[in-house]
Structure 1
Amino acid sequence: MTRSAIVLGAGIVGVSVALHLQARGVQVTLVDRRGPGEETSHGNAGLIESSSVVPYGFPRDWRTLLRLVRNDSTVLRYDVRSLPAYARWLASFWRESSPARLAQAARDMLPLIERSVAEHDAFVARAGLRDIVRPTGWLEAWRSPGPFEQEMRTARGVADAHALHIETFDAQGLRALEPSLGEGYAGAIHWIDPASVADPGALTKGYAQLFLRDGGAFARGDARTLAAVGKGWRVQTEDGPVSAELAVVALGPWSDLVTQPLGYRVPLMVKRGYHMHYASEARAPLVRPVVDIEGGYVVAPMRRGLRLTTGVELATRERAPNYTQLDAAEREARPVFGLGARLDETPWMGLRPCTPDMRPVLGPAPRHTGLWFAFGHNHHGLTLGPVTARLVAEQIVGETPFTDPAPYLPARFG
């Protein structure tokens, strides 16, 4: 008999889960309140980061912490009213960011990071999306010479340890590589292996079209109506109730709206971020995404223009947007990148679903048969969508997983 599944969430993770299950003979209905790729998967910096082998940990240097506490940084901003909601999560994040625990998190994440580009490549080839996925790598740019020199040594060690490819450039070499850049950077590290995406939303929509073309179904519905019925699961959609043997929660930052009523207390919090597109007034087009490390933002060439994506804002989902961080990053970036007029009517705001141990939540729900989790990808949802979907699909159908799923299982949270 053909197995059936409901996948809740049509972002990059949910669409990828649907594709991997479909490839294994499962009849899948993809359910979301909006169209595919129209939430977090639309608004990111477009990096498939196969070089990001160390997760983003909590800063442990007291000088950095003092700067962040002032709450005027483009790297991180916090909403004072939201801090009580984050208190326990931040304490866990701090603990998990100790050198030993962070090193273990990096080891656990490595099997996923290593396969991230290859898993995307397989979908990109099938979906005919080569025009928006570029083998450009990305640039890690530094404004201060001292930290840049230190980071170059660290980067070479990481590259050698993981067979990654890098090039380093001083200020003059960087402007020769990217003539669009003005003065302001002491140098940059070019991480060559990653890919960049010129339209992340279109990438997810393209994967979704591939899923539909191969016989999948999509329905608009409210994931919060998910309920166990008999030996399966049912969700209400605009087309009526949909039932299936299995259900996969892949709702990113909204996953807790489904899991908490079912009794699960996964420590999932959001890191908010913003983006804006700009016309370019530079003398040449920007070719590669540039991560301003000290500024905490990314400027990437997109179909719509230059997309500036901000760093982290700690604020709960219901708080109103605050564009202070975006405005500050724009002031820093404008002279270096030749940012021209804003192209969007209002800035976009999105939510990054984060766990304190910096690992996604992938695998069976401990207390419900046929319920599976695939969320909590931190800053790497675009990067890890297809590869984590493979791992979940392999577990669901009983294949031997390509890597040990233990570090990511929901049961680790009780």
Structure 2
Amino acid sequence: MKSPILILGAGMVGTCTALQLALRGHPVTLVDRREPGRETSYGNAGIIQCEAVEPYPFPADPGLLLRTALQRATEAHYHLGDMPAMAPALARYWFHSRGERYAQICREYGQLTRRSVAEHAPLIEAAGAQDLVRREGFRLVFRTPRALEQEVKDAERLQRLWGLPFRVLDGQALAAAEPALKPRLAGALQWTEPWSITDPGELVQRYADLLVRHGGVIVQGDARTLRPAGTGWQVQGPDGPIEAAQAVIALGPWSDAAIRALGYRFPLFVKRGYHRHYRGGTGPALTLLDAERGYVLAPMQQGVRLTTGAEFARLDAPATPVQLARTEPLARELFDLPEPVEAEPWLGARPCTGDLKPVIGPAPRHPGLWFHFGHGHQGFTLGPVSARLLAEQIDGDTPVVDPTPYLPARFL
């Protein structure tokens, strides 16, 4: 019998961690305060982005930086009072978004994202979740020919490096592919390999159901109660303490608080984001990014989901959905969106690291404790492959990729 393991956090990353370990014979207990997939993993654009070989760098465009500084950008927003506390991590983010440092990070990061669809596929089949999947990719639409031309050149570069397939649609072809699109745009670039999910939270729940079928246990509990217990670890569950030989912290944006309680200070920060659904209109046929305005429209089971760019603020700061207010009229320029479904926008947070890479591996100072967080914009994409890499480290198996770039010890 392999060792029992506690997994804290039931988002895509934590649920996949528990599932990968259960499939390898470990007794696992998945602990979260809510049902699986109800936090960050619920609110994303639902794309398994196998083309996202380069993580989002700190912006370098002077125009975007100026608009952001003046609080006029649709792509980004910030809380001025929270900037001093976030500054050290953001400075690391800026430092690692330049030159050869960033190029090396992309080479490492792409090793995971290129495997994302291949790792999701068997889990989707085993979980009976094929009804949630669309396999046509997604589109970046452009309002100006110059912006489209620049994007095509960058896509050609990525195709040479990684073999990424794409197609280009001119204005006429885009109008034919998206008959509900109101204006004639310059065109679109369609990445053809990614998959899109019509209910991201439901996919996590299906993975959680698969976990239970393989013997895993899911309980509601408070991750803040994690502490060493004998030679293992303990957390408080609904019926008392739950103990296991090993534990994994996979709490997404709440991971920083958990590891700080154990004495770790990593350059972590969050990018918050908002979404809202619109039902009854004529949205896009395929998930699309309005590339020059910085928002996504995704056809979901709940309606057309409008998701925003990044808001830099404390995790617990009051909601300020100004980006949603700015992008909603822009989205209505493209499609006939009715009134929103929700009375208030949804708010979530993306867990980010100062060097743009996730944290996957053993806690440096605590035997039997493992870290698995910091996936930024791509936790939904990377969940299965990242969880496989962690499970292989726990079991001492040959890893799917070299784990060195993601190890927690890089921050010490």
- Mapped to 2, the partners of 1:91 and 1:365 lie a distance apart of 24
> Residue 288 of structure 1 corresponds to which residue in structure 2?
286
Check whether the contact 2:222–2:237 (CA below 8 A) recurs between aligned residues: yes
Task: Note if 1:276 corresponds to 2:276.
Answer: yes
Q: 1:326 aligns with which of 306, 324, 327?
A: 324
Deviations 1:180-225 (A, max 9, x none): 2121632110000000000000000000000011111011110010
1:280 offset after TM fit, Å? 4.2
TM-score (norm 1): 0.98
1:348-363 alignment runs, 5 A limit: 348-363=346-361
> Residue 215 of structure 1 corresponds to which residue in structure 2?
215
Structure 1 segments of 4 or more deviating over 3 A?
none
Instruction: Evaluate the alpha carbon distance shift between residue 286 and residue 62 of structure 1 in structure 2; reply closer, same or farther with a 3 A threshold.
Output: closer
Check whether the contact 2:175–2:184 (CA below 8 A) recurs between aligned residues: no
1:8-407 alignment runs, 5 A limit: 8-183=8-183, 185-282=185-282, 286-407=284-405
Structure 1 counterpart of 2:368, one-letter code:
G
Structure 1 counterpart of 2:346, one-letter code:
W
- Mapped to 2, the partners of 1:377 and 1:185 lie a distance apart of 33
- Mapped to 1, the partners of 2:185 and 2:274 lie a distance apart of 23
Check whether the contact 2:273–2:348 (CA below 8 A) recurs between aligned residues: yes
Q: List runs of 5+ in structure 2 lacking aligned partners.
A: none
Structure 2 counterpart of 1:174, one-letter code:
L
Check whether the contact 1:55–1:102 (CA below 8 A) recurs between aligned residues: no
- Mapped to 1, the partners of 2:276 and 2:264 lie a distance apart of 36
Check whether the contact 2:92–2:267 (CA below 8 A) recurs between aligned residues: no
1:143 offset after TM fit, Å? 1.6
SS of equivalent residue, structure 1 residue 340 = coil
Check whether the contact 1:166–1:191 (CA below 8 A) recurs between aligned residues: yes
Deviations 1:144-176 (A, max 9, x none): 221211211221221232122111012221111
Structure 2 counterpart of 1:196, one-letter code:
S
SS of equivalent residue, structure 2 residue 279 = strand
Check whether the contact 1:7–1:31 (CA below 8 A) recurs between aligned residues: yes
1:293 offset after TM fit, Å? 1.4
Structure 2 counterpart of 1:412, one-letter code:
R
- Mapped to 2, the partners of 1:72 and 1:355 lie a distance apart of 25
Q: List runs of 5+ in structure 1 lacking aligned partners.
A: none
Number of matched residues? 412
Check whether the contact 1:219–1:239 (CA below 8 A) recurs between aligned residues: no
SS of equivalent residue, structure 1 residue 226 = strand
1:2 offset after TM fit, Å? 3.1
Check whether the contact 1:280–1:338 (CA below 8 A) recurs between aligned residues: no
- Mapped to 2, the partners of 1:117 and 1:151 lie a distance apart of 23
- Mapped to 1, the partners of 2:239 and 2:145 lie a distance apart of 59
Identity %: 50
TM-score (norm 2): 0.98
- Mapped to 1, the partners of 2:122 and 2:135 lie a distance apart of 14
Check whether the contact 1:277–1:304 (CA below 8 A) recurs between aligned residues: yes
- Mapped to 1, the partners of 2:59 and 2:311 lie a distance apart of 15
- Mapped to 1, the partners of 2:328 and 2:70 lie a distance apart of 19
Task: Provide the aligned C-alpha RMSD in A.
Answer: 1.1
- Mapped to 2, the partners of 1:250 and 1:20 lie a distance apart of 14
- Mapped to 1, the partners of 2:52 and 2:280 lie a distance apart of 28
Check whether the contact 2:273–2:309 (CA below 8 A) recurs between aligned residues: yes
Structure 1 counterpart of 2:336, one-letter code:
G
Structure 2 counterpart of 1:269, one-letter code:
F
